């Protein structure tokens, strides 16, 4: 079984495609085992998201190359954009995909964090699963105040970084590095045009207002189709699986006399999340990933 970790660095540059291209090229050239699967830039946000895959050693080299290249060309003192940020390399999550545990991704985040701090003098905060501090698990909490408020925040008790100096790097700020489960973007469309129903169901299902632990949700109108949608991010599909979310929303919708029209997965979904769905509904016992023909064929 190959070891595959996904890594999704977010960098504070989304308006100069040639600069972003050079950064992606440097990452791709850093190690033979690293692949750059996707690069998405947003000019409004002035931010780019790279999707990398590789083994821990390859990704360590890849992320260090990313920092070296990005720090040369991004200066947060002159950076403007819609999206909150506090670092030139703003956030670097590692995600376990295949043949690797979350604990190993946490260790990888720590190793990379230490090296970033020592090689580039950039303070590093660990987040999500890599954080040992409950007050510093959430990215939003760490990033609050952004680059402009960073020097003051870092001088506050409880906000010394996990690695590196206790003050921002002048042009690159600080970086947030960690480990998390894959996100699944999952939407459920309802056979109604009443937006308030989608909003009430979203409030019922999301964690922040009393719902399921690993669900973020909002109700939106799909204008072109005249229907509403419960639009969600599932942040841990092992602990809050897709079928439980689907059945929850279906039951809430029924309480308003509304049917589920369909659901959709936006972007990528781990095979394990689909397997778990089949197991749930078929009441499958004793099923393992090695029974998936394609998985078996890939084994050496």
Using CB under 8 A as the binding rule, whether residue 220 contacts a second copy is answered as no
Instruction: Assess 226 for contact with a second copy (CB under 8 A).
Output: no
Rounded least distance, CB 215 to a second copy, Å: 15
Q: Which of 16, 73, 246, 256 binds a second copy (CB under 8 A)?
A: 246
Question: Measured between alpha carbons, how far is 12 from 79 in angstroms, rounded to an integer?
Answer: 8
**CA neighbor of 38 nearest in space, from 271, 294, 268, 295:** 268
Please, which of residues 250-289 interact with a second copy by CB under 8 A? 260-265, 267-271, 274-275, 277-278, 280-287
Q: What x-and-dash track marks residues 6-35 binding a second copy by CB under 8 A?
A: x----------------------------x
233 binds a second copy (CB under 8 A): no
User: Which of 26, 49, 57, 97 is in the footprint of a second copy by CB under 8 A?
Assistant: 97
79: annotated active-site residue: no
Buried b (16+ CB within 10 A) or exposed e, 243-262: ebbbebbbebbeeeebebee
C-alpha to C-alpha distance for 69 and 65, rounded to whole angstroms:
6
- ∠ CA 190-183-268, nearest 5°, is 80
Beta bridge partners of 234: 184, 215
Question: How far is it, in rounded angstroms, from Cα 113 to Cα 122?
Answer: 9
What minimum distance in Å lies between the beta carbon of 242 and a second copy?
Answer: 7
Q: What is the binding site for a second copy (CB under 8 A)?
A: 4, 6, 35, 37, 53, 97-98, 182, 189, 242-243, 246, 260-265, 267-271, 274-275, 277-278, 280-287, 291-298
Catalytic (active-site) positions: 83
């Amino acid at each position: 079984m190959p070891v595959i970790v996904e890594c999704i660095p977010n960098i504070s540059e989304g308006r100069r495609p040639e600069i972003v291209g050079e950064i992606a090229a440097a990452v791709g050239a850093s190690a033979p085992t690293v692949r750059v699967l996707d690069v998405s830039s947003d000019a409004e946000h002035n931010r780019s998201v790279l999707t990398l895959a590789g083994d821990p050693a390859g990704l360590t080299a890849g992320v260090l190359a990313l920092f070296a290249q990005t720090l040369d060309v991004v200066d947060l003192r002159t950076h403007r954009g819609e999206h909150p940020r506090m670092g030139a390399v703003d956030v670097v999550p590692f995600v376990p995909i295949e043949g690797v545990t979350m604990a190993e991704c946490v260790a990888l985040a720590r190793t990379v964090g230490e090296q970033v701090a020592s090689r580039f003098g950039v303070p590093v905060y660990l987040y999500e699963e890599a954080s040992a501090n409950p007050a510093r698990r959430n990215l939003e909490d760490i990033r609050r105040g952004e680059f402009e408020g960073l020097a003051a925040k870092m001088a506050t008790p409880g906000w010394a970084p996990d690695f590196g100096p206790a003050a921002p790097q002048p042009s690159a700020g600080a970086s947030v590095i960690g480990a998390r489960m894959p996100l699944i973007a999952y939407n459920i469309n309802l056979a109604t045009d009443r937006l308030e129903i989608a909003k009430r169901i979203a409030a019922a299902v999301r964690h922040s207002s009393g719902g399921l632990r690993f669900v973020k949700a909002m109700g939106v109108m799909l204008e072109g189709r005249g229907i509403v949608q419960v639009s969600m991010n599932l942040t841990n599909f092992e602990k809050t699986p897709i079928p439980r979310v689907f059945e929850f929303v279906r039951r809430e919708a029924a309480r308003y006399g509304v049917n589920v029209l369909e659901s959709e997965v936006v972007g990528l979904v781990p095979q394990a999340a689909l397997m778990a769905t089949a197991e749930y509904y078929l009441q499958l016992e004793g099923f393992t990933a090695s029974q998936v023909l394609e998985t078996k064929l890939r084994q050496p």
